[in-house]
Amino acid sequence: MKRLILSLILIVTMVLTGCGGGSKASTSTGSDEKGGTETLRIGFNDSLTGAGAVYGLPQQNAIRLYFKQLNEAGGFEVGDKTYKVELVELDNKSDPTEAVSATRKLIDKEGVNIILGWASSGATKAVSAVIGVEYPDVFMLVGTAGEESITADGYANVARIRPPGGYTGDAAGRFVAKEGVKNLAIIGQLKDALYEQYTTHFVEEFEKAGGTIAKTETFALGDRDMYSQISSALAAKPEAIFVPGYVEQAAFVYRQLRENGYDGKIYGFTGGSEAQFLEVATPEQMENVYDLRPVEGTIEALGDNAKAYAEAYEAEYKEPATPNAIYAWDSAIALVEGMQAAGTVDDTKAIIKALKDMPTPESVALKYVDVDGKWFDPNGQTYTSNIALLFKDGKWTYVEDLPADASVYSKYMTSLAEANK
Amino acid sequence: MFGELTQQILNGLVMGSYYILIAVGLSIVFGVLSIPHFAHGSVVMVGGYVTFIFVNKLGVPFILAMLISMILCAAFGILLERSAYRPVRNAPPINAFIVALGLVMIIDNLMTSIFGANQVIIKSPFKSTYTIGSAHVTSLRLFMIGACVVLVAALIIFMKYTKLGKAVRATSQNREASLIVGINTNVVTAIVFGLGSAFGAVAGSLIGALFAVYPTMGTFITQKGFAVLILGGLGSIPGAIVGGLIIGLTENLGSMFISSEYKDVFAFLIMIIILIFKPSGLFGGKGK
């Protein structure tokens, strides 16, 4: 009996641990069905478990949905051929080592030469260095991960849809100063490069405008008990609190700030949706909370493409899309647009060049700010506008745009890339 | 300064209570079987999910759901012992070690496939906030301290004054001698696993309401639990109590006086410092 139970447990484990693997190995394209359609295999590497899953799973949903719609419509044409897409998906567990290992498996074993996904900055940064140096013919197109150096290390085969954190941090710092805040405490996920960079730029601009930082407290990815940081921050008697971090962690900071009797303004950089915050905090605890972020999936501030995407996402998954998922959606659009413009699905260098030469296409969901008339700047980076949202009556409401100069930031990123060469 | 100190001590007592609930379970298992029960964190996580199902999905009141979770987790703990640990009881210790790691992977993967990777939060009826001087504390946090005090007191009474408790202590001191005097050590082992897992269920339920439950939380729980256990002395219940409080308070006071950046480091730092002067832990060798 004991052996039977043990055997059953082992079988269950093997089945379960085998579930996350990719599919059969083959080259990145292959002939398909009756009508001469070919199947294009695209890699997907993202945080499907671990702390980054809160951003990675919605990215997976968006990319799956985009290619499902594309395949059901008969595929897409490049040159005289029609392609349908098969995704080869691996979970990087939000961990840099796992991410590199999954990437090597995707390229060396599964034979893919284009990889989408990438929500967690730490994992993405680790892989960009590997792909940039060891796999010059592989195209890594990043979705949500916002750490600056991902597109400032000078790798020609790495591009990103989401603007870097510092670009938004500059604008956010000016906004908070303009709000009349003079004395601010920071409780942030400052060991994470994205939030550290955003905060550095935020503080520079805030202090330039005459503000002072009363106290800086740090929490780690995965932390949920922030009482000690909150107690220290509140002891400095700040006028407002600034919270950069993952949505889950930030939501706990907001809830616990209110539990500690703090009823002042809170500014955050999280990219979280209403549903994600309300899972942790009550609508009352969320009142007077701002989020200072790139425009992301704030559908009211976007156009018809974004509305169609949001409706399709909700119909497919029975839940609203998280704000970051739209980056993944647009990354899939970028890939198809790039292939069609380059006239190839295999030559990744030609696809990247085509993307860097084109203005923002009409098919995308987000609103981008072109640099010198181009969607992707020479570093493979795109820029959107930034906005301030305020949580009011149970939902995020648009407050105003946060002005930022994409051309200036692009030049700054270029200077970093040149210094890193 | 005084206000912040009061708040940090209160924070430390809350987290200390949580660590005690985890470490007591680990401690009694180690005391009787000398098994590093690394899957205990996963049992805590399962306890949280059981309460989540009963409260959030079936509408059962929180405290009743927690009691059901205690019973189900006790049964789960006994099942783990019977099916996984008992077959390797007489094998080299490394076998139990590997079995424990295997159990962690099995349970964590199973829960991920059932519940997904995202966190869930247990709805709690404790929603008020109280102000004590300049410090704030929620009723759920006070309940955590109260539950810890009541359960640990009950455990001490059980161990000291009941026949079964005396059998557990006897087995913990000398398994062979206990067999000779007629103690059924298999029953004692089952009781120990059941009790430890029930304590774990309480910890999982309370932390699931205070913070969240998610499939990978077990690793962190086990790390902290063993830090408390080693600090207090392996297998010692008083050690687990004092160790839990020391770590809870050190984390919070360290954040206040040094930096919150190293909050998680303080637990292990204080453990190392104490082990330098008392290698068997604070109550090592005396607490059984």
The 10s digit of each residue's pLDDT in A355-388 is 999 999 999 999 899 999 999 999 999 999 899 9
8 Å CB contact between A161 and A382? yes
Task: Provide the H-helix boundaries in A112-217.
Answer: 121-134, 165-178, 193-208
The whole-angstrom separation of Cα B139 and Cα B118 is 26
In this complex, the residue of A12, A13, A235 whose CB is nearest that of residue B4 is: A235
Cβ–Cβ under 8 Å, residues A38 and A90: no
Question: Does A233 lie in the same domain as A90?
Answer: no
* Residues of B with Cβ-Cβ distance to A16 under 8 angstroms: 106, 109-110, 112-113
To the nearest whole Å, the CA of A3 is away from the closest chain B CA by 8
Q: How far does B159 lie from chain A, in Å, by closest CA?
A: 30
Q: A359 lies in a domain?
A: yes
Say what the pLDDT of residue A271 is: 84
Chain A residue with minimum CA distance to B106: A13
- B7 and A280: CB-CB below 8 Å? no
Does the pLDDT of residue B162 top 90, yes or no?
Answer: yes
Strands, E assignment, A47-171: 76-78, 81-91, 114-117, 139-142, 158-160
- Is B56 within 8 Å of chain A by CB? no
- Nearest chain A residue to B261 by CA: give it: A218
CA gyration radius, chain B: 19
A408, A395, A163: which is closest to A293 by C-alpha? A163
Inter-residue contact A106 to A34 (CB < 8 Å):
no
Say how many C-beta atoms besides its own lie within 10 A of residue A103's C-beta. 26
Q: What is the per-residue pLDDT for A28? A: 56
Give yes or no: residues A292 and A328 share one domain.
Answer: no
Contact between A167 and A197 under an 8 Å Cβ cutoff? The reply is no
d(CA B42, CA B221): 8
How many domains does chain A contain in total? 2
Q: What are phi and psi of B270, to 5 degrees?
A: -65, -35
Q: What local confidence, expressed as pLDDT, does residue A298 receive?
A: 67
Chain A CB within 8 Å of residue B24 CB? no
CA gap B57, B98 in Å, rounded? 35
What whole-number distance in Å separates Cα of residue B201 and Cα of residue B48?
A: 6
* Same domain as A179, residue A101: no
Q: What is the pLDDT of residues A132-146, one digit of tens each?
A: 999 999 999 999 999
Regarding whether A285 and A354 lie in a shared domain, the answer is no
A11: enclosing H helix or E strand: helix A2-19
CB contact under 8 A, A231 and B4: yes
In chain B, what residues touch A53 (CB-CB under 8 Å)?
117-118
User: Is position A67 within any domain?
Assistant: yes
Q: Domain residues of chain B, as ranges?
A: 7-216
Q: Give the CATH number for residue A108.
A: 3.40.50.2300
Which residue has tokens 């796999």?
Answer: A135
- The Cα B48–Cα B231 span in angstroms is 26
| Main-chain dihedrals φ then ψ at residue B212, nearest 5 degrees | -165, 165
Contact between B8 and A231 using a beta-carbon 8 Å cutoff: yes
B255 vs A contacts (CB less than 8 Å): 217, 228-229, 232
B217-234 average pLDDT score: 91
Are the C-beta atoms of residues A212 and A183 closer than 8 Å to each other?
Answer: yes
Would you say residue A421 lies in a domain? no
B131: closest CA of chain A, how far (Å): 9
How many Å from the N-terminal Cα to the C-terminal Cα in chain B? 40
* B3:A235 CB<8 A: yes
Asked if A232 lies within 8 A of B3 by C-beta distance, the reply is no
Q: Which helix (H) or strand (E) holds A402?
A: strand A395-402
In b/e form, how buried is each residue of A161-173, taking b as 16+ CB within 10 angstroms? Answer: bbbbbbbbbbbbb
Q: Is A414 inside any structural domain?
A: no
Residue B93 pLDDT level (bands cut at 50, 70, 90): confident
Closest CB to A13 among B11, B87, B109: B109
Give per-residue pLDDT as tens, A5-60: 444 444 444 444 434 333 333 345 665 554 578 999 999 999 998 888 989 999 99
Q: Report the alpha-carbon distance of residue B264 to residue B221 in Å, rounded.
A: 12
User: Do residues A253 and A394 share a domain?
Assistant: yes
The answer on pLDDT for A3 being more than 80 is no
Any CB–CB contact under 8 A between B133 and chain A?
no
- Convert the pLDDT of each residue in A147-205 to its tens digit: 999 999 989 999 999 999 999 999 999 999 999 999 999 999 998 889 999 999 999 99
pLDDT band per the 50, 70, 90 thresholds, residue A239: very high
Question: Among A228, A230, A258, A276, which would you mutate to test the B interface (most chain B Cβ atoms within 10 Å of its Cβ)?
Answer: A228
Residue A179, token pair as written in the block: 């709000």
From residue A393, how far is each of A169, A255, A285, A390, A396 by CA, in Å?
A: 26, 16, 11, 10, 8
Res. B97 pLDDT band, cuts 50 70 90: confident
Tell me if A8 is assigned to some domain: no
Are residues A224 and B211, on separate chains, in Cβ contact within 8 Å?
yes
Distance from CA of B257 to the nearest CA of A (A): 9
Here the tokens at position B74 are: 């006790």
Separation between Cα atoms, residue A223 and residue A221, nearest integer Å? 6
Domain holding A170, by residue range, is 166-297+387-402
8 Å CB contact of B212 and A248: yes
CA distance B11 to chain A (A): 7
Q: Is B125 on the interface with A (CB under 8 A)?
A: no
pLDDT value for B285 = 66
Q: Which DSSP letter does residue A152 get?
A: T
At A215-224, the pLDDT tens digits run 999 998 889 9
Contact assessment for residue A47 and residue A132, using Cβ atoms and an 8 Å cutoff: no
Please list, in sequence order, all residues whose beta carbon lies within 8 angstroms of the beta carbon of residue A166, skipping any fewer than 6 positions away.
A148, A197, A198, A200, A201, A409
CA-based angle A315:A321:A325, to the nearest 5? Answer: 125
Considering CB atoms only, which of B4, B118, B131 is closest to A53? B118
Contact B3 A54 (CB under 8 A): no
Both A241 and A280 in a single domain? yes
What is the residue whose two structure tokens read 């913990």?
Answer: B172
Q: What is the ipTM of this complex?
A: 0.83
Q: Is residue A319 part of a domain?
A: no
- Residues B48 and B120: their CA atoms lie apart, in Å, by 9
Asked if residue A302 has pLDDT above 90, the reply is: no
- Tell if the CB–CB gap between B106 and A6 is shorter than 8 Å: no
Predicted confidence at residue A87, as pLDDT, reads 97
* B4 in A contact zone (CB under 8 Å): yes
Q: Are the Cβ atoms of B110 and A232 closer than 8 angstroms?
A: no
A377-417 tens-digit pLDDT: 999 999 998 999 999 999 999 999 998 999 999 999 999 98
Among all residues of chain B, which has the CA nearest to that of A261? B136
Q: How far apart are CA A385 and CA B121, in angstroms?
A: 34
Q: Do A228 and B260 touch (CB under 8 A)?
A: yes
Verify that A278 and A398 share a domain, yes or no. yes
Asked whether the beta carbons of A124 and A147 are under 8 A apart, the reply is yes
Q: Which of B90, B111, B136, B210 to mutate to test the interface with A (most CBs of A within 10 A)?
A: B136
Q: Are residues A185 and A282 in the same domain?
A: yes
Residue A11 is assigned to a structural domain of this protein: no
Is the pLDDT reported for residue A345 higher than 70?
Answer: yes
Contacts of B261 in chain A (CB under 8 A): 190-191, 218
Residue A176 placed within a domain: yes
> How far apart are the CA of B174 and the nearest CA of chain A, in angstroms?
27
User: CA distances (Å), B153 to each of A378, B24, B148, B237, in order?
Assistant: 67, 12, 8, 11
From chain B, pick out residues whose CB is under 8 angstroms from the CB of A255: none
Q: Please check whether residues A210 and A62 belong to one and the same domain.
A: no
Nearest CA distance, A234 vs chain B (angstrom): 9
Q: Which residues of B touch A218 (CB under 8 A)?
A: 259-261
Residue B27 pLDDT > 50, yes or no? yes
Distance CA B244, CA B12 (A): 10
Residue of A186, A191, A225, A277 best to disrupt the B interface, most CBs of B under 10 A: A225
